[in-house]
Amino acid sequence: MFSLSRQTVRRHLPLYAGSFVALAVGVFMLGLAATATAATIAYHGPEADSILVQLPGTDGAGPHSERVVLSGADASGLQVVLSMVGVISGFITIFVIASTFAFAVASRRREVGLLRLIGATPRQVRRMVFGEALVVALAASVTGAVLAQLATPFLLAKASYTELAPVKLEPASPWIPLGIAIAVGLVVALLGARSAARRAGRVGPVEALREAALEPPQIGVVRVVFGLVFLAGAIAMLALIQPGTGEGVVPLAMFTPMVLVVSLTLLAPLVVPWIGRLWALPLVRWTQVSGRLARSNVVAAPRRSASLAAPILAISAIAGSMVLSLSFAADAAAATIRDTLTAPIVVTAPENSAAAPENSGELRERILTTPDVAAADGGISVGIIRADGDSAELEDGEGIDPAVAATTRILTPISGELANLTGQTVAVGKEMAGLEHYKVGSEISVVFGDRAKGTLRVVAVLPDAPGVNGSMLVPLALARQHAPAAVPERWFVQPAGGVDPAQLIGALDRQLSGTGAHVVRAEQWEQEQADGLRKGNQLGLVLLMGPAGLYSGIAIANTLLMGSLQRRHEFVTSRLLGATPAQIRRMVLWESSLVGAAALTLGTVITATVGILLRHAMTEGLRDVPTTIPWALLLGIGALCLLLATGAATAPTSFILRRTSPADAVGD
C-alpha cells in the first residue's frame, strides 16, 4: 500500500503541493524557534555576572543550586519570546495542516469511491490515505528542518546584542530541536489525514459513485460535541480574565483565542454558511445572479466553506487579540504611572552617571540646593534574588527613603505600615504577595547582588506600580550597604507649596547645566515611558505574529488555490450552461469574499470579547485610562486577509477559464 500511496502522490502532485508547502513552512518555523531556543539555553554567560544560589528544595525535591544572572546580559527575554513563537507557530501549524490535508483528501472522494467499487476494503483505503500523508510529511518535514538549520545562524546574528538578547548567541546542537520539529510535522500530517481517511473508508461503493461530487448534508455528532466542549472551555477561560488575575491575564489573552478558534472551526460548517447568508443579503440585491450563485455555493458546500475560512479565522482572531492586548497593556501602564506619581517634575540622570558614581552626589546636591525644591526622591536599584524553596528569581529591587518617597508617590499600603521600612525589611507589590502568599510578617530569603545572604521581613503590601516602584522596596540604607556604587537613575522632584512647576523646571535647567541631566514635566516623562513600552510591544508583536502571519497568509492562499483548482469540472459545466467567463469570475470573487467576511466576523467577535475583558482586568482601580486602539493595524490585517482570499480564488479561476471551453465538459 505504501508503494500505491507514493504513486498516488506523484500522480496528484498539484493537489498535494499545497500540503507540502504548508507543512514545510510550518516545520521551518517550529524548527527555527526550537534551534534558536536551544542556543539561548546553551548560553550561560560569564560567571562573574551571575550567582549560584543554593536552594533547599520543596515537594520532595532535594537540595539543588540555580545560577542567576545579575547584569541582565542574558538571553532570557529572547527565550521567552521564542517559546511563545513556538506555541503560536505550533498551533497555527496543527490547525492549518489538519485543515489543508483533510481538504486535499476530501477532494479525491470520487477516486476513493471508484477504488471501493473495484474491491478495495475500508482498511486498505485508510492505509493508502495514511501512506500518502506519510510520504508528503516526510518530504516536507525534512525540507523544513534543513531550511531551519540554514536560517538559524542568520536569526541568531540578528537577535544578538538586542534588547531581548544583549549577548552574542551561537548555534547549539540542532539534533534534538530539529528532531522535535520533524516529529511534530509527521504527527500533524497523520492527524490531519485521520478523520478524512476514516470518512473515506466508511463510504460504500455505490454511495460513493452517487454522492462523490456532493458533500454530506450535515456534520457528525462527534465533531459537534467536541466543538461545544472547546466552546465551554473557552467561556470558562474568558470568565477568568478579571481583575486580580495578575500575570495570568496575558497568557489567558493569548490562549483563549486559540481555544475559541478550535471551537469555531469544528462548528464552522454550521456557523460559516449562516453568517455568509447574512453578508449575502446586500450582495444579492446589488449583483443579482452572481451574488445569488455565490451565496448558494457557500451554503451548499459547508465543509469547503469552513476549510477556506479556517486560516482566515485563525490569524484574524489571534493577531487581533494580541494587538489589542499589547495596546491596552501600554494604556494601563501609563495610567498606573500617572495615578502613582504625584511629583510634577522628573529629573533623569545622564546615561554615563553609573560609570561615575561620584557625580551622583553632586547632582543630588544641585537638585536639593535649587530654590523652591521641597523634596527630591531618588531611589537606587539593587539586585535582589528572591530564593524560595525550589526556585531563585531576580527581582527589581529599589532602595527608598519612605518619608521622602511618600511626598512624591502614592504609597498607601494595602496592608501594613510603610513607616516600618527600616533595617532588614521589605515592602512587596500586591501581585507578588498574591502569587507567593506573602503577608505582613512573612520572611523572604534573599541573596543580594554582592552575594550576601539575608532574610527580609515583609512590613507592607503596596499596589503594583511598574515603572515607578520596584517590585521589592527596601530601606535606602540597606540598598546602599549592598550596592554602594549604585546611583539613582531618576529623581521625582516636588516643588514647595505655591511654586509653579514650570518656573521650577527653568531653575533646575539652569542649576543642572553641564551635568547632562534631563528635566521634564511628569506628564512628558509618563508619555516617554508609555512610548517606550509601545515600541517594545511592537517589536514583540513582530517577533510573535510575524512568522505566524506569514504562514497564515501562505495557508490562506494555498487553501483557496487548492479549492479553486478542484472546481474545473464545475466551471466547465457552467460554461456549457451559458455562463460567461466574466460571470464565473464574479461568482468566485463574491464567494471568496463571503467566506472571508464570515471568517473575519468571527475573528472580530473573538478579538472584541477578549479585548473588552482584558481592558477591564488591567484597568480596574485606575482613573481616566485612555483607550488606544490601533485601528490601522487591525483594519490592515482584515484587508490583507480579504485580499489574499479573493486573489487566491480568482487567479486560478481565470487560469482555468482561459484554458477550457464548454466542449471540455463532454471529455470530463
158, 179, 214 - which closes a domain: 214
**564 or 34, which is more confident:** 34
Residue 327 lies in a domain: yes
Let me know whether 362 and 505 are in one domain: yes
pLDDT for residue 440 = 93
Q: Residue 49 corresponds to which cell in the numbers above?
A: 555576572
**549 or 581, which is more confident:** 581
Let me know whether 373 and 514 are in one domain: yes
Query: Stretch 371-383: mean pLDDT, rounded?
Result: 88
For the cut 50, the answer to whether the pLDDT of residue 574 exceeds it is: yes
Let me know whether 276 and 244 are in one domain: yes
Let me know whether 231 and 316 are in one domain: yes
Let me know whether 318 and 335 are in one domain: yes
Question: Hunting for cell 481538504 — which residue is that?
Answer: 103
Q: Are 116 and 199 in contact (CB under 8 A)?
A: no
Let me know whether 318 and 354 are in one domain: no
* Cα dihedral 192, 197, 198, 201 in deg (nearest 10): 170
Q: What percent of the chain has pLDDT over 70?
A: 81
Residue 606 lies in a domain: yes
Query: Stretch 104-128: mean pLDDT, rounded?
Result: 74
**79 or 526, which is more confident:** 526
Question: What residue type is 155 in one-letter code?
Answer: L
Query: Stretch 572-590: mean pLDDT, rounded?
Result: 83
Going by the DSSP 8-state scheme, the letter that residue 573 receives in this structure is H
Q: Provide the domain count of the chain.
A: 3
Taking the alpha carbons of 440, 444, 447, 453 in that order, is the dihedral positive or negative? positive
Let me know whether 506 and 529 are in one domain: no
Q: Are 76 and 214 in contact (CB under 8 A)?
A: no
Q: Are 198 and 223 in contact (CB under 8 A)?
A: no
pLDDT for residue 356 = 44
CA distances from residue 22 to 31, 189, 545, 555 in whole angstroms, order as listed: 14, 10, 17, 6
Residue 63 lies in a domain: no
Residue 59 lies in a domain: no
Let me know whether 321 and 347 are in one domain: no
Question: Hunting for cell 497568509 — which residue is that?
Answer: 553
Taking the alpha carbons of 336, 340, 342, 346 in that order, is the dihedral positive or negative? negative
pLDDT, tens digit, 9 for 90 and up, residues 294-317: 888 888 878 778 877 888 888 889
> Cα(294)–Cα(277) distance, rounded to whole angstroms?
10
For the cut 70, the answer to whether the pLDDT of residue 80 exceeds it is: yes
For the cut 60, the answer to whether the pLDDT of residue 359 exceeds it is: no
Taking the alpha carbons of 276, 279, 282, 286 in that order, is the dihedral positive or negative? negative
> Cα(283)–Cα(592) distance, rounded to whole angstroms?
13
Residue 183 lies in a domain: yes
The listed range with the strongest mean pLDDT (113-127, 255-269, 291-305, 563-577) is: 255-269
> Cα(221)–Cα(210) distance, rounded to whole angstroms?
23
Structure confidence at residue 354 as a pLDDT band (50, 70, 90): very low
pLDDT for residue 415 = 92
* 3-class secondary structure, 277: helix
pLDDT for residue 603 = 93
pLDDT for residue 211 = 45
Let me know whether 194 and 299 are in one domain: no
500, 519, 538 - which closes a domain: 519
487, 519, 551 - which closes a domain: 519
Query: Stretch 194-218: mean pLDDT, rounded?
Result: 59
> Cα(506)–Cα(81) distance, rounded to whole angstroms?
43
CA distances from residue 591 to 284, 494, 645 in whole angstroms, order as listed: 12, 64, 10
pLDDT for residue 664 = 59
Query: Stretch 529-536: mean pLDDT, rounded?
Result: 80
Q: Are 459 and 425 in contact (CB under 8 A)?
A: yes
- Burial category of 477 from C-beta neighbours within 10 Å (exposed 0-12, middle 13-18, buried 19 and up): exposed
pLDDT, tens digit, 9 for 90 and up, residues 600-658: 999 999 999 998 888 888 887 787 788 888 888 889 888 988 888 888 788 888 877 77
For the cut 80, the answer to whether the pLDDT of residue 352 exceeds it is: no
pLDDT, tens digit, 9 for 90 and up, residues 490-528: 899 999 888 899 899 999 988 888 778 889 999 899 888
For the cut 80, the answer to whether the pLDDT of residue 69 exceeds it is: no
Q: Residue 25 corresponds to which cell in the numbers above?
A: 513552512
- Burial category of 396 from C-beta neighbours within 10 Å (exposed 0-12, middle 13-18, buried 19 and up): middle
**393 or 194, which is more confident:** 393
The gap from C-alpha 143 to its chain's centroid, in whole angstroms, comes to 26
> Cα(506)–Cα(501) distance, rounded to whole angstroms?
9
Q: What angle separates helix 13-42 from helix 2-11, to the nearest 10 degrees?
A: 110
Query: Which range (290-299, 448-457, 533-542) has the least confidence?
Result: 533-542
DSSP 591-605: HHHHHHHHHHHHHHH
Residue 450 lies in a domain: yes
> Cα(95)–Cα(101) distance, rounded to whole angstroms?
10
Let me know whether 303 and 337 are in one domain: yes
Q: Are 382 and 482 in contact (CB under 8 A)?
A: yes
Residue 57 lies in a domain: no
Query: Which range (348-357, 544-553, 575-584) has the least confidence?
Result: 348-357
- Return left, alpha or beta for 458; rule: phi > 0 is left, psi -120 to 50 is alpha, else beta: beta
Structure confidence at residue 563 as a pLDDT band (50, 70, 90): low
Q: What percent of the chain has pLDDT over 90?
A: 14
CA angle 314, 154, 31 (to 5 degrees): 45
pLDDT for residue 15 = 67
Task: From 1, 4, 196, 2, select the one nearest 97 (Cα to Cα).
Answer: 196
Let me know whether 313 and 370 are in one domain: no
Let me know whether 501 and 559 are in one domain: no
Expressed as residue numbers, the domain containing 373 is 342-519
Residue 143 lies in a domain: yes
Structure confidence at residue 473 as a pLDDT band (50, 70, 90): very high
Is residue 300 within a helix (H) or strand (E), and if so which, with residue range? helix 289-300
Q: Are 344 and 463 in contact (CB under 8 A)?
A: no
